[in-house]
Structure 1
Amino acid sequence: MTQTALIVIDVQESFRVRPNWRAVNHPDIADRVGRLVQAARSRGDLVVWVLHTEPGTGNAFDPAIGHVRLIEGLEPREDEPVLRKTAHNAFTTTNLQQLLTQQGIREVVISGIRTEQCCETTARVAADLGYDVVFVSDATATTPLPHWTTPADATLEAILADPRTLSPEVIVERTEYVLAGRFATIRTVDEVAGLAVAS
């Protein structure tokens, strides 16, 4: 029985239809996650897919709008669970912990969107629940993070022009700093997939 599960968090079309997707650090996130999925399947690891939903909001995460689906190119197998959450982390509003317990999982590998939000939060909760956590930074994606005082309707151009905005590179670096040695081990796609870096 496998003891490792790859958790794919929110790699969904909801993000690609938002204006700030133009500034995402890894527009090829589906390809990066796809490599992890292929490696996990070849090792016999569990793959769990998670989608974020905000029913009744009318926004891109409202299932009724039609964007709450995996980004093109990603396809769960019939034996791979697809969970739908309404909280930032993948545990609180799903049966993920029960599922992992039933499968005898001891280690979780985290990938998905967004690095500092749902991915990081899931990693922290998983660590607190006693799992060994591997955080694959370059198989997560995020967009520039505006200052908390920035108006909600600010344009992407205004956000990018604001010197207080955190770039994706800074976000990833800060996320790695706070997770490493406390909540998770930081790894790359190449390390986890066991593939050599392309020359």
Structure 2
Amino acid sequence: MNRALLVIDVQESFRVRPNWRAVSAPDIAARAARLVAAARAAGDLVVWILHAEPGTGTAFDPALGHVRLMGGLDPRDGEPVLTKTSRNAFTTTNLQQLLTERGVGEVVVCGIQTEQCCETTARLAADLGYQVTFVTDATATFPIAHRDTPPGRPLAEILADPATLSTADIIARTEYALAGRFAAIAALDDLAPPAGTVPAAGTAGRPVG
């Protein structure tokens, strides 16, 4: 079965927003790069996905120049780069057609944000019949303010509010929701072992848990 790594929204848009300092994984680009290197070594397809919100004037408006991959992430010739305007990577792109043409039946998901674009993509991929691996520690997210929080509240107040959902809680919730239903949960070290280490038997490039 052919496999594809989906690198979702690891883009500069996030780094220019005020809440970047509260991100769960500041080194998300390096983590994604490890998975990319492992995927290329295994002969897997790497698909790069960016998120755009044209005309909004936000960090995701292409006119502002932030809708580009973070430094250190460089697509090779033949690796598709898609731009979506929905939270999942399928609805507003030709991703499904592309995967079908390449004979892909398994996808590995990483990127930003854990519970939004990454989780939503994993759920839809599962519904479309793909075998899905969700590499949680190669995703990143941000604390979520309570739904009744007034707009424009400073980040420091959001972080201090006990009603704010922490990144640890978000990540745990996502794993509980996906595991055994939509995806296998995998660890970065198992799919892309650090240099100088040897993966445990049966785990190299495959999901765990």
The interval holding the TM-score normalised by the smaller chain is: over 0.9
Residue number in structure 2 paired with 1:149: 148
TM-score (norm 2): 0.92
Percent identity between matched residues is 68
Residue number in structure 2 paired with 1:93: 92
- Give the secondary structure class of the aligned counterpart of 1:146: coil
Aligned partners of 1:9, 1:143: CA distance in 2, in Å? 15
Residue number in structure 1 paired with 2:25: 26
Residue number in structure 1 paired with 2:119: 120
Residue number in structure 2 paired with 1:190: 189
Residue number in structure 2 paired with 1:48: 47
Aligned partners of 2:43, 2:180: CA distance in 1, in Å? 27
Matches within 5 A, 1:4-23: 4-23=3-22
Aligned partners of 2:135, 2:119: CA distance in 1, in Å? 11
Aligned partners of 2:104, 2:78: CA distance in 1, in Å? 16
Aligned partners of 1:166, 1:151: CA distance in 2, in Å? 15
Displacement after TM superposition at 1:194 (Å): 4.3
Aligned partners of 1:192, 1:130: CA distance in 2, in Å? 22
CA RMSD, Structure 1 to Structure 2 (Å): 1.3
Amino acid of the structure 2 residue aligned with 1:33: A
Deviations 1:141-183 (A, max 9, x none): 0011111111221111111011111111110001000000000
Residue number in structure 1 paired with 2:205: none
Moved over 3 A (4+): 194-197
- Give the secondary structure class of the aligned counterpart of 2:104: coil
- Give the secondary structure class of the aligned counterpart of 1:106: strand
Aligned partners of 2:151, 2:79: CA distance in 1, in Å? 37
1:81 aligns with 2:119: no
- Give the secondary structure class of the aligned counterpart of 2:53: coil
- Give the secondary structure class of the aligned counterpart of 1:154: coil
- Give the secondary structure class of the aligned counterpart of 1:14: helix
Amino acid of the structure 1 residue aligned with 2:37: Q
Deviations 1:8-44 (A, max 9, x none): 0000000000000001010000000000000000011
TM-score (norm 1): 0.96
Deviations 1:56-105 (A, max 9, x none): 00110000000000011111011100000000000000000000000000
- Give the secondary structure class of the aligned counterpart of 2:169: helix
Stretch moving more, 117-126 or 157-166? 157-166
Residue number in structure 2 paired with 1:37: 36
Residue number in structure 2 paired with 1:163: 162
Residue number in structure 2 paired with 1:104: 103
Amino acid of the structure 2 residue aligned with 1:70: L
Aligned partners of 1:158, 1:165: CA distance in 2, in Å? 10
